[in-house]
């Protein structure tokens, strides 16, 4: 008990010089050095993002487009550049104001304050997408942190369950027609590519024919021609409330084959794009990289989902005699079986946050839930704080790609913070950082980060 109390005392009385910038005794130089390190990385990142968005428009940009692109690059670069330097400033300021370090002030609170302040530099239309992105990574990190403490336990194919519920919610919004009003989002364009526009809402009420003349004559199965007639009827069978023009069987089968082909093509295309250097060097292992079952998984997931969704929807229309947007719920849940072929945690978290965001917007428009002022900024600050906290104190819980991103933007500072004074928290933070450094092969030969500004 005495040893634990002594460690807690060391953690509280640690200086920001010992912890946050051990290469320089000046807090101002530490913040300025972080600022200088972030600027080129931020500029390079956002130049790539904005130019790619410009190319994706598929038309020759006008002078106005180019001007907006340059302005957007500079504005987003300013936002991202200020984030890290304000973090260092807030760490030092809070330590001086509070007289020492508490568990929440080591990384979480200073990151929250700096992130919310910096997001004000960013364009308003980009704040919600940024918040959703960090929430996507942050919720995965939070889960791993709780799992390491034994508070929660992962279940098999849990990400498939999340993905299925999220897509089902999105499909209901799509069938109701809210994607055209209060729930506008590019995600629905992707859904329309997978399912086609036949299932798009709002629903139209068709004229149902119930005349006796529409009944077909019974088949005599003693004749071979009757089997051909049965086959023809199955292909052309279609309930008047179905929104598609072809028969339901053909509609469902083609609805499964097209997404399958598109998913396989997308997987192969991405693999080819990522391996362009190997292709030109004739080092591409075609059988291992392309011609394998992995290239089929995305296509199978999309194809099975579309086939089961359309089959279930048509079956409900035939059974009940009418169409309803609520049919998207059982159809979406059954179609989610296909996602077992592509259990991706990142996609599941993205779809979950996207569906929650759109449902929240719908709830606000209906007056069912209150609108929280600056909700996107608060969410961005909260989850960015979770990510910084994890990178500094619980590095093994953070996604490796995001740890690399933080290392790049901070000028190789994140792994150089001295977290030994915080061993009292029992997280073995330095051991976790050492593990991640070794796993990612991070070069730590230099004793100083980029732009150390040692004084």
Task: Name, in order, each residue with C-beta under 8 angstroms of 14's C-beta and a sequence gap of 6 or more.
Answer: 100, 101, 421, 422
Average pLDDT over residues 279-299: 77
Q: What is the pLDDT of residue 58?
A: 72
pLDDT at 206: 52
pLDDT of residue 4: 57
Per-residue pLDDT band at 209 (split at 50, 70, 90): very low
The encoded tokens of residue 115 equal: 């992130």
**Cβ neighbours for 214, distance < 8 A, ≥ 6 positions apart:** none
Question: What is the pTM (predicted TM-score) of this model?
Answer: 0.85
Q: Is 378 a residue whose pLDDT tops 80?
A: yes
In which residue are the tokens 């790619």 written? 52
Give the whole-angstrom CA distance, residue 331 versus residue 175.
Answer: 12
Angle, vertex CA 168, rays to CA 163 and CA 173, nearest 5:
130
For residues 341 and 325, give the distance between their C-alpha atoms in angstroms, rounded to a whole number. 27
CA–CA separation, 357 and 423 (whole Å) = 38
Q: Tell me which residue has tokens 């917007």.
A: 361
What number is the average pLDDT over the span 405-412?
92
């Amino acid at each position: 008990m005495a040893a634990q109390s002594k460690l807690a005392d060391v953690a509280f009385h640690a200086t920001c010089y010992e912890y946050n910038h051990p290469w320089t005794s000046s807090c101002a130089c530490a913040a300025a050095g972080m600022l200088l390190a972030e600027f080129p990385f931020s500029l390079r990142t956002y130049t790539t993002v904005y130019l790619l968005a410009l190319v994706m428009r598929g038309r020759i940009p006008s002078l106005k487009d180019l001007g907006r692109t340059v302005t957007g690059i500079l504005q987003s670069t300013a936002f991202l550049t200020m984030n890290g330097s304000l973090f260092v400033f807030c760490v030092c300021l809070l330590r001086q104001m509070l007289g020492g370090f508490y568990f929440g002030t080591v990384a979480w609170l200073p990151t929250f304050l700096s992130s919310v302040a910096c997001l004000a530099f960013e364009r308003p239309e980009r704040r919600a997408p940024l918040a959703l992105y960090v929430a996507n990574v942050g919720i995965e990190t939070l889960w791993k942190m709780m799992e390491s403490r034994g508070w929660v336990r992962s279940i098999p194919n849990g990400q498939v369950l999340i993905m299925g519920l999220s897509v089902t919610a999105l499909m209901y919004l799509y069938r109701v027609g809210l994607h055209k009003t209060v729930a506008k989002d590019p995600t629905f364009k992707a859904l329309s590519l997978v399912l086609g526009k036949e299932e798009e809402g709002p629903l139209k009420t068709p004229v149902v024919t119930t005349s006796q003349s529409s009944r077909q004559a019974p088949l005599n199965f003693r004749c071979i021609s009757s089997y051909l007639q049965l086959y023809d009827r199955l292909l052309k069978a279609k309930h008047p409330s179905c929104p598609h023009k072809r028969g339901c069987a053909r509609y469902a089968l083609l609805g499964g084959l097209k997404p399958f082909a598109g998913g396989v093509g997308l997987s192969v295309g991405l693999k080819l794009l990522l391996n362009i250097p190997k292709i030109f060097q004739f080092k591409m292992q075609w059988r291992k990289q392309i011609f394998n079952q992995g290239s089929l998984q995305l296509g199978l997931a999309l194809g099975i989902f579309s086939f089961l969704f359309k089959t279930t929807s048509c079956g409900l229309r035939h059974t009940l005699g009418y169409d309803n947007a609520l049919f998207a719920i059982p159809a979406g849940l059954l179609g989610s079986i296909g996602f077992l072929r592509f259990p991706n945690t990142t996609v599941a978290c993205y779809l979950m946050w996207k569906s929650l965001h759109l449902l929240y917007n719908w709830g606000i428009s209906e007056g069912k839930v209150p609108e929280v002022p600056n909700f996107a900024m608060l969410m961005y600050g909260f989850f960015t704080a979770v990510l910084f906290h994890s990178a500094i104190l619980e590095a093994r819980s953070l996604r490796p790609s995001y740890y690399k991103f933080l290392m790049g933007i901070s000028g190789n500072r994140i792994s150089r913070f001295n977290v030994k004074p915080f061993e009292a928290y029992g997280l073995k933070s330095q051991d976790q950082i050492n593990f991640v450094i070794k796993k990612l092969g991070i070069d730590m030969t230099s004793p100083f980060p980029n732009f150390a500004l040692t004084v």
